[in-house]
Structure 1
Amino acid sequence: MRRYLLNRLWQSAVTLLLATIVVFLGVRALPGDPALAFAGEERDPASLAAIREKLGLDDSLVVQYGKFLLGCLQGDLGRSTRTRIPVTEMIGSALPVTIELAVLALAVAIVLGGIAGVVAAVRRGRPSEWVANALALLGLSVPNFWLGLIAILYLAVGLGWFPASGFVPLLDDPIDNLHHLVLPAVVLGAALAAVVMRQTRSSMLESLGADYIRTARAKGVAPRSIVMSHALRNSLVVVVTIVGLQLGTLISGAVVTERIFGLPGFGKMTVDAVFQRDYPVIQGVVLVTATAYVLINFLVDLTYSLIDPRIRVTGAVA
């Protein structure tokens, strides 16, 4: 177990190192000059030269990357070139909003997609399966920005059930916080619910056709126990993998949803940083997202053996 953990930690560290290189070079491949964006109307050569020297833009890429990597190791992602606020402080204020939204969207996806997938597998060939497949196809086909606008138009503005925009911190008012996030979470989790439904259905059908299920039925095991204790549990390995990967996608993909609903999360901060050529903020956002992906994948690997005892940490099946 210790050897496996050390191996996975080493792989995660190498992945994060490569991520820092990709982030650093990718940000600098963006069109435009951050010095011009920072200077505003003061674009005389002397002002631009002073800004470039202050931001370290005149250094070679190797020197700039070395400073960036050293700062990352020290927990310092630099300061915003626009506001001069530390990037870690900006991310610390925006990240909890995005994480809360992503977790709620994931809960919506697991509940709706999981139930629909189990029903579609157990009642295969019946109208309930057709309805579940139709809803899954709809969830995969409808863009979340369009779904968000429709939800605001009818559920927020038309019926007044939910706020159209805004955010209330969780510690200030938990009920009002949930009231503001329910609609964005449903919009963001709709596509993931469709993915979870299809993966759950596929894994459940494979499990229900296995020999041990036929043996359990022959022994007279209750149908509910067969579905929940045998088929569903053995189907969770694939589902957990999908959910783990999609959680990272939700964190990075919440940009559009946050912009539509006016949430002060990663979305607004990322879009503003891109338009303003704010290199440190862009680097920090992408690096945090990459770290989330690596950490989630690491945790998903460790949970495999808890879900299915046949799977050992070596990756072999007993």
Structure 2
Amino acid sequence: MIRYVATKLWQSALTLALATVVVFIGVRMLPGDPALAMAGEDASPAQLEAMREQLGLNASMPVQFLTFLGNLLRGDLGTSTRTGTPVAELIATTLPVTLWLSAYAIVVAVVVGILFGVIAERFRGRWPEWFTNGFALIGLSVPNFWLGILAILYLAVTLGWFPASGYVDVLSDPLRGLYYLTLPAVILGTSLAAVIMRQTRASMIETMSTDYVRTAKAKGLSGGRVLMRYGLRNSLIVVVTIVGLQLGGLISGAVVTERIFALPGFGKLTLDAVFTRDYPVIEAVVLVITLSYIVINLSVDILYSVINPRIRIGGSN
């Protein structure tokens, strides 16, 4: 176990180091001049030169990278060239909004996906399965931005059930904060719920046809108990895998949802940084997303052995 975790940590550190190099080079290959964006279109050549010197853009690429890496190792993410605010402060302000939204979307997706997956397996060939399959088809085929627009139009504007936009800090006012996040979280988690539903159904159908399940039924266990004890438990491996792969994607993919519902989250920060060529913010945002993927994947690998004792993390029999 310890050896496995140490190996994973070493691989994760190597991945993060390579990602740092790729991010640094990729950001500087973006079209446009950040000095021009900062100084304005009417800036004189002297003003542009002074701005480039202030931003450190006149130095060679290796020098810029070493400066960036040294600051990163000290925990200094730099200062936004757009607002002059430390990047760490911007991330600390906006990241919790996206994390709350992503966590809420994950909860909605897991609950709905597992519930509909169990219903689809339990009522195969009947109308409940057709209903859940229809939900999965809609969730996978309709883009989130279109669902978000329809939800705002009908559920928020016409019916008034939810607010159309805005954000309330969940920690300061939990009930009101979750109320404001409910509609965005449902929209963001719809496609993930559809994937979980389909995979849960397929995994449970396969599990319920195994010999040990038939043996359990022959011993007199009720269908519901067999379903929960064997079918659902084994399908959790699939659910954990999907959630682990999609959680990082939700953090990075919440940009559109946050834009539609006017949430002051990570997505808005990312778009503003890209539009204004704010190098420090772009680099920090991509590195945070990369780190989240690495941590999530490592956690999922370890969770496998907790959910299913037959899996041996260390590779031993």
In the alignment, the residues of structure 2 paired with residue 114 and residue 199 of structure 1 have an alpha-carbon distance, to the nearest angstrom, of 9
In the alignment, the residues of structure 1 paired with residue 121 and residue 62 of structure 2 have an alpha-carbon distance, to the nearest angstrom, of 55
Q: Aligned partner of 1:89: which letter?
A: E
Q: Which residue of 2 aligns with 1:158?
A: 158
In the alignment, the residues of structure 1 paired with residue 235 and residue 174 of structure 2 have an alpha-carbon distance, to the nearest angstrom, of 35
In the alignment, the residues of structure 2 paired with residue 118 and residue 69 of structure 1 have an alpha-carbon distance, to the nearest angstrom, of 49
CA-CA distance at 1:62 after TM superposition: 1.6
2:295 counterpart SS class: helix
Q: Which residue of 2 aligns with 1:175?
A: 175
CA-CA distance at 1:43 after TM superposition: 2.1
Give the TM-score normalised by the residue count of structure 2: 0.97
Aligned-residue CA RMSD (Å): 1.1
In the alignment, the residues of structure 2 paired with residue 59 and residue 137 of structure 1 have an alpha-carbon distance, to the nearest angstrom, of 53
CA-CA distance at 1:315 after TM superposition: 4.3
CA-CA distance at 1:193 after TM superposition: 0.5
Per-residue deviation, residues 105-132 of structure 1 (Å, max 9, x unmatched)? 0000001011111111222222211111
CA-CA distance at 1:314 after TM superposition: 2.4
In the alignment, the residues of structure 1 paired with residue 171 and residue 238 of structure 2 have an alpha-carbon distance, to the nearest angstrom, of 35
Q: Which residue of 2 aligns with 1:249?
A: 249
Q: Aligned partner of 2:16: which letter?
A: L
Unmatched segments (≥5 aa) in structure 1? none
CA-CA distance at 1:41 after TM superposition: 3.8
Q: Which residue of 2 aligns with 1:71?
A: 71
CA-CA distance at 1:171 after TM superposition: 2.8
Q: Aligned partner of 2:182: which letter?
A: V
CA-CA distance at 1:217 after TM superposition: 1.1
Q: Aligned partner of 1:52: which letter?
A: R
In the alignment, the residues of structure 2 paired with residue 34 and residue 315 of structure 1 have an alpha-carbon distance, to the nearest angstrom, of 50
Give the 5 Å matches for 1:72-87: 72-87=72-87
In the alignment, the residues of structure 2 paired with residue 300 and residue 89 of structure 1 have an alpha-carbon distance, to the nearest angstrom, of 29
* Aligned: 1:260 with 2:276: no
1:148 counterpart SS class: helix
Aligned structure 1 segments of 4 or more residues deviating by more than 2 angstroms = none
Identical-residue share of aligned pairs (%): 62
In the alignment, the residues of structure 1 paired with residue 76 and residue 114 of structure 2 have an alpha-carbon distance, to the nearest angstrom, of 41
Give the 5 Å matches for 1:37-186: 37-186=37-186
In the alignment, the residues of structure 2 paired with residue 69 and residue 120 of structure 1 have an alpha-carbon distance, to the nearest angstrom, of 51
Per-residue deviation, residues 260-279 of structure 1 (Å, max 9, x unmatched)? 10100011111111110001
Question: Does the CA-based 8 Å contact 2:3-2:314 persist in structure 1?
Answer: no
Q: Which residue of 1 aligns with 2:234?
A: 234
CA-CA distance at 1:42 after TM superposition: 4.3
Q: Aligned partner of 1:157: which letter?
A: V
In the alignment, the residues of structure 2 paired with residue 116 and residue 29 of structure 1 have an alpha-carbon distance, to the nearest angstrom, of 46
Q: Aligned partner of 1:240: which letter?
A: V
1:254 counterpart SS class: helix
Q: Aligned partner of 1:186: which letter?
A: V
Per-residue deviation, residues 75-102 of structure 1 (Å, max 9, x unmatched)? 1111001111110100000000000000
Q: Which residue of 2 aligns with 1:213?
A: 213
Aligned residues: 317
In the alignment, the residues of structure 1 paired with residue 69 and residue 198 of structure 2 have an alpha-carbon distance, to the nearest angstrom, of 41
Q: Which residue of 1 aligns with 2:199?
A: 199
In the alignment, the residues of structure 2 paired with residue 67 and residue 93 of structure 1 have an alpha-carbon distance, to the nearest angstrom, of 25
In the alignment, the residues of structure 2 paired with residue 149 and residue 286 of structure 1 have an alpha-carbon distance, to the nearest angstrom, of 27
In the alignment, the residues of structure 2 paired with residue 255 and residue 117 of structure 1 have an alpha-carbon distance, to the nearest angstrom, of 28
In the alignment, the residues of structure 1 paired with residue 22 and residue 42 of structure 2 have an alpha-carbon distance, to the nearest angstrom, of 32
In the alignment, the residues of structure 2 paired with residue 41 and residue 231 of structure 1 have an alpha-carbon distance, to the nearest angstrom, of 64
Question: Does the CA-based 8 Å contact 2:139-2:194 persist in structure 1?
Answer: yes
In the alignment, the residues of structure 2 paired with residue 170 and residue 246 of structure 1 have an alpha-carbon distance, to the nearest angstrom, of 23
In the alignment, the residues of structure 2 paired with residue 18 and residue 279 of structure 1 have an alpha-carbon distance, to the nearest angstrom, of 18
Q: Aligned partner of 1:75: which letter?
A: G
* Aligned: 1:285 with 2:281: no
2:263 counterpart SS class: coil
Per-residue deviation, residues 276-298 of structure 1 (Å, max 9, x unmatched)? 00011111111101100000000
In the alignment, the residues of structure 1 paired with residue 32 and residue 135 of structure 2 have an alpha-carbon distance, to the nearest angstrom, of 43
Per-residue deviation, residues 48-84 of structure 1 (Å, max 9, x unmatched)? 1111111111122222122222222221111001111
Cα 1:315–1:192 shift into 2, 3 Å: farther
In the alignment, the residues of structure 2 paired with residue 134 and residue 288 of structure 1 have an alpha-carbon distance, to the nearest angstrom, of 36
In the alignment, the residues of structure 1 paired with residue 79 and residue 249 of structure 2 have an alpha-carbon distance, to the nearest angstrom, of 26
Per-residue deviation, residues 165-186 of structure 1 (Å, max 9, x unmatched)? 1111123322211111000000
